[in-house]
Structure 1
Amino acid sequence: MNSITRSSTAYSKVFLGVILATGVGTIVIQWIYRPFKSTKRKPDHPRGTSTRPAGHSSDYPHVAHKVTDFIGNTPLLRINCLSDSTGVEIWAKCEFLNPGGSIKDRIALQIIREAEKKGTIVPYASPRCRVFEGTSGSTGISLALVARALGYEAEIVLPDDTAVEKSQLIENMGATIVKVRPVSISNRSHYVNVARDRAQRFIEEGGKGLFVDQFENQMNWLTHYQTTGPEIWQQSRGKVDYFVAGAGTGGTIAGVGRFLKSVASDVQLILADPPGSGLFNKVKHGVMFSKTEIEGKRRRHQIDTVVEGIGSNRLTGNLAQIIDLVDDAISVTDEEAIELSRLILKNEGLFIGSSSAVNLVASHKLAQQIKLGREDQQQSNGERTRIVTILCDSGQRHLSKFWNDQFLVQHGFLNKPSSSSESESESVSPF
């Protein structure tokens, strides 16, 4: 009887050993002891979120109380085809992913919020307070959206050659549109001056209104100093060698540039400039002058280009904040912007707007310069040089002009319509 018991005990030990060796034992033990374990479980929090009490949309990144909560914190995207073909890292901040479709959402929100703090305008007042602005399009769209979301009326003055889809979008958002003939800023009929005059008249007649004044309003560059710049620095983990951007109001390059220079003085600021703009020569030679100003050279308007949103022949209050800190400038032709935009679409699936294309062309040209100077291509720690730029808006608001081959051919920007059957190159080096 004792021998049988000893034999059974031995078999039991062998069986238990097999169970433990195969991992099944762990499951069995956990099942046996589960009644004695605490039923409380510490919640898993997504990376980057907090455990603060609920009550604000920032506690839950994918939950918002207003559409304006989605403004900012846009992703930083590697432009693979340009980075791989040059050996220089080219990254772009995707500002077209803001709810209003452009980087201008940021300043629209902050300028209105600042005016609220000062008591200049009051949300949901009766009658409604009104915001006024003169713009070539994107700021008008952003203001129309933000005004509608925060309880204001918007009145936007546009040059009459603005892409039709921009004016339609502004109008569909409920803003009032006033179109004027494109003239010099010194003319009282310039869209900015008309917007200022209409705002003043509205206020004099007893209304409560705000002239946004994006070209001179210091909240423009301060917004990018406080938001866009820090986001780029954090997303790049402090690795930015060059920042490339065009300038219309100058707010983006001023705000981002001043922030980056404040945290890393060796960051190089590069201005991207389209045809007809005098900023390239201002940076290079200290004189605001464009070749299109030569008698008989101007086609039609002061900024002689198919590109909308950037380029200027005057030093705005925002641009004055950074012009002396800009290290270099790169001139971009319409043809280069058009060509690269098509190649980016084919290689990256990015449908970019005209000013975004100018920024990428300038970044690509800079990368090629760095590539030629091999000693500058690799840092001492073996890391590649990194260029960061801005994708201001998408091609969706440039369908009638920049992305319309017939328009481009008709106005001499393109020799022939691009063929959809053209082979899609793996590597891009268009210039």
Structure 2
Amino acid sequence: MSTNDRKLHREAALTAGRPAPHIAPRRSLAHVIRDDAEAIRIAKDLALEFAVGAAQRDRERRLPLAEIDRFSQSGLWAIGIPKAYGGAGVSAATLAEVTAIISAADSSIGQIPQNHFYMLEALRLNGSEEQKQHYFRRALEGDRLGNAFTEIGTKTPVDFKTHFADRNGKFYLNGQKFYATGSLFAHIVVAVAKGPNGRVHLVFIDRATPGLGFVDDWSSFGQRSTGSGTVTFDDIEVTPFQIVDHDGSFEQPTPMGPFAQIIHSAVQVGIARGALAETISYVRAHARPFFELAIEHGYEDPHTIHGVGDVAIRVHAADALLARAGHIVDRATAEPTAASVAQASIAVAEVKALATEVAQLAATKLIEFGGARSTLESYGLDRFWRNARTHSLHDPVRWKYHHIGNFYLNGILPPRHGAL
């Protein structure tokens, strides 16, 4: 792409959305969490805060800037950093549970750090010792990593035009990304780009770098406040220290794929939990009985009672599969082999498939059992279905069933990539 084409491309993106928020350099050190129990405790406390105003943020499409600061300063964004580097080194099961807890309160906030965790895991697997020391320290101090992975308009979501080229002994990065969840809030943007050798790499770029542009143009009907819009790279000079190989994470057995997917699965589990909790609260407070019934309250309706019981069973099944998948991912992390990684991928695919269906079911039943009044905009209850449906499109569940069935029926190991 020529310099003029890049300029026109960037100008088109800038006119399509809102100005990106200003993210000031971090002013204080984040709290450092020491173990799994502390991570769960802090997540539960923050979820109570984030639930307040979730409907309003969704309605106004308001970016949760203050909430994200609270989230990262709490230390929860660094809980996956290994103990050897000063982190809590929590289990995948704990990381998934933290994500589900936050997502039950506000699934946009729950999704935002997914790529931060992903990039830290990529560093653990493929970064040099110097890169790990540097970027793990920054994450422990409270710096946030943002995603610039997928592009719009390519043949598939894993086709990349964004690239860095060698010019006179220096590397220059050019391209444009969409679905860049987390980048609007990030101190460091991580771009997925092809290098001169055609391999896919991760390129770590400080937010203040000249040539790095952001556009708040995410207009989806769900996950409205994730800020998953456009990021542009205009002839950004990068050094080898900023570049980490990404293809290597999948060329050999590593937990990279199931690690990424268990966090997405946890977002769906969280939405299902949140919708069920909202159903119980709303029906108890507002639902009226059907006029054919001689009862006083909507929560005495036998069909509603049966329906809530059915949803509760399914939500609890998704909870159990999430915990199970977390333990299997932990085993694959401790001893990565073709078999253990495949088992982890399948276990995560199982919870993702079920949780995706349950989240949409719970969100639909919330409106059904709540009655006509529950559709009023002031309640914002439709956000659970919109969020579940939107987030489910990250990677198609229909392919989860295919790989699960092929694994159990034919003994075929699933492919290794970030969507499985």
TM-score tier (shorter): under 0.3
More helix by share: 2
Question: What TM-score do you get using the length of structure 1 for normalisation?
Answer: 0.27
Larger Rg: 1
